[in-house]
Every structure is written in C-alpha cells, then in structure tokens.
Structure 1
Amino acid sequence: MAHRFELRVYYEDTDLAGIVYYANYLRFIERGRSEWVRALGVDQARLRAEQGIVFAVRRVEADYLRPAVFDDVLVVETGLVELGGARIVLDQVVWRGEERLFAARVVLVCVGAAMGPVRIPEGVRGLLEGGRARSAGAV
C-alpha cells in the first residue's frame, strides 16, 4: 500500500473556471513526498544541516486525468519505484475518493552542497527501502 497524505482544495488552489490550477498538483505531490520521507523516518532538515545533502526534482512525467474543485478532499499516494545510487523514482497519484485525478512519475536526485549528484547515504537508503512495498502505480 502507498503512503497516503490527505489535503483539502482551497479557493486559492483554483483558477477562474473553479478547478484546481494545473501547477498546484505539483505542489500537492511535493507535500505528499515530504510527508512520505518523514513517515519513513528521514529528517530532511537534519540531513541538509549535517551532511549538506538535499533531494532535488530532476524530472516529472504527469497525467492530468480529471479536475478537482474547491473544497474537495484529496489524497496523495506516494510509492517508491526505484532506488539507485543517487536517484529515487516515485509514483504519485492524487485521488478524490475512488476517482484517480492525477498521476505522476517523479525522479529525484540526491545532491550535495555543490548541487552535483551524490550517493544516498546508507542510513537514508535503508529508511527509503521501507517505502518500496508501498508503490502507488502511477503512470
């Protein structure tokens, strides 16, 4: 089962047509990823402060399937697909009840202070591996 993060659509998330503005789905899945790593026990602020390492988005492949609207309660599911030396591939899906609204495959890269790729530390790798069985099957 994928990690699940619930959120509500606010007026500020919508456009003139009253539907969620397309770029806001990227914000929603960012929150889902942050909560996913937190739930796995990865402290991103501590990782940056102590080792100078952060996770940066390298690529997003997204499908907008159905619109969300003001006051909808959405769930972002996040699951690990692949864990490489410096790369993390995730599937993320945004649901409204049983309706699949948005799906994305996201590639993250672990980068150091010089913003170049660095290997994911073994301790962090072990924690992230715990998210593998929770794949969301996005795209």
Structure 2
Amino acid sequence: MVHMFPVRVYYEDTDMGGVVYYANYLRYIERARSDWVRSLGIDQNAMREEDGVVFVVRRVAAEYLKPAKFDDALEVRTAIKAVTGVRLILNQEVLRGADLLFQAEVVIVCIGESGAPARLPANIRRQVH
C-alpha cells in the first residue's frame, strides 16, 4: 500500500536560490506520515493517553536528487518497508510528476513516558502488516 499526499511549494519554502530549502523536505514527509497514520484510523492522542506511547523518528537517511521550486505541485509517497515489534521502517519519496526529487528511509519507533523504547501497540502492528 502506498499513501499519497499532495504538497504545494510556497514562497516561504524556498531559499535564496529559489529552490526548496533542504530541511523543508523533512517537513513534507512528516506531514505525509501524519496523514498516513490518520488514514489508518490511528489516533495518536489516544495512543499516548491509552497506551502511554508516542511515535518518534529514530533515523532518517535522505537523498536529495533534484530541486523543487516555488509553486511546484509535489506528491509525497509513503510505503512500508518493514515492521518489527518495536519499529516501522518507511520509504518516502517526493515527486514532481514523474520526476523523483527526494527519497528517504525513515525509522519510526515508539517510546513511553520515560523516553525509553516501547513495543508498538499490537493493534498498530496488525494494521500496518
């Protein structure tokens, strides 16, 4: 399953060269992941309150391939690469039409209130398999 999320590049997203500032790609993929989780019916507030855990990014390996520019219509694609008892590994891509601009492998884990790693709730593991 691939989740698709549209993004429009605003002036505020660009740097002095008129291209998307590198850190904004991380913002785009974060928004897409939040939308993906919501589309699965996972309520992150309830997860925190009922299960005592929250998602955090453990690692991002990113590759910047081509620049996006002001007013470009982009699409962020999110797909599951692997699921274990404690982590989700996602592939995320930012495209402009057929052009791949950015790709990242993102490792997501759960942590408890103390900040220690915690197992993914069973209902979430079932939903993403």
TM norm. shorter chain > 0.5: yes
1:28 alignment partner, SS class: helix
Compute the displacement of 1:85 (Å): 1.1
- In structure 2, the residue matched to 1:76 is 76
2-structure distance, mates of 1:74, 1:45: 28
Verify the 8 A CA contact 2:51 2:121 in the aligned structure 1: no
State the one-letter code of the partner of 1:6.
P
Which of the pair is proportionally richer in strand?
A: 2
Compute the displacement of 1:86 (Å): 1.0
Q: Which runs of 5+ in 2 are unaligned?
A: none
2-structure distance, mates of 1:105, 1:80: 10
Q: Deviations over 1:26-54 (max 9, x none)?
A: 00000011111111111111111222211
Q: Which runs of 5+ in 1 are unaligned?
A: 130-139
State the one-letter code of the partner of 2:106.
V
In the TM superposition, what are the counterparts of 1:8-19 in structure 2 within 5 Å?
Answer: 8-19=8-19
Identity %: 55
Compute the displacement of 1:15 (Å): 0.2
Compute the displacement of 1:2 (Å): 1.1
Verify the 8 A CA contact 1:37 1:128 in the aligned structure 2: no
Count of aligned positions = 129
In the TM superposition, what are the counterparts of 1:69-108 in structure 2 within 5 Å?
Answer: 69-108=69-108
Verify the 8 A CA contact 2:85 2:125 in the aligned structure 1: no
1:56 alignment partner, SS class: strand
Q: Deviations over 1:55-83 (max 9, x none)?
A: 10010000000000000011000011111
Verify the 8 A CA contact 1:42 1:127 in the aligned structure 2: no
1-structure distance, mates of 2:49, 2:71: 37
2:31 alignment partner, SS class: helix
| TM-score relative to the length of structure 2 | 0.97
In the TM superposition, what are the counterparts of 1:1-139 in structure 2 within 5 Å?
Answer: 1-129=1-129
Verify the 8 A CA contact 1:41 1:127 in the aligned structure 2: no
State the one-letter code of the partner of 1:92.
Q
Compute the displacement of 1:126 (Å): 1.2
1-structure distance, mates of 2:56, 2:72: 29
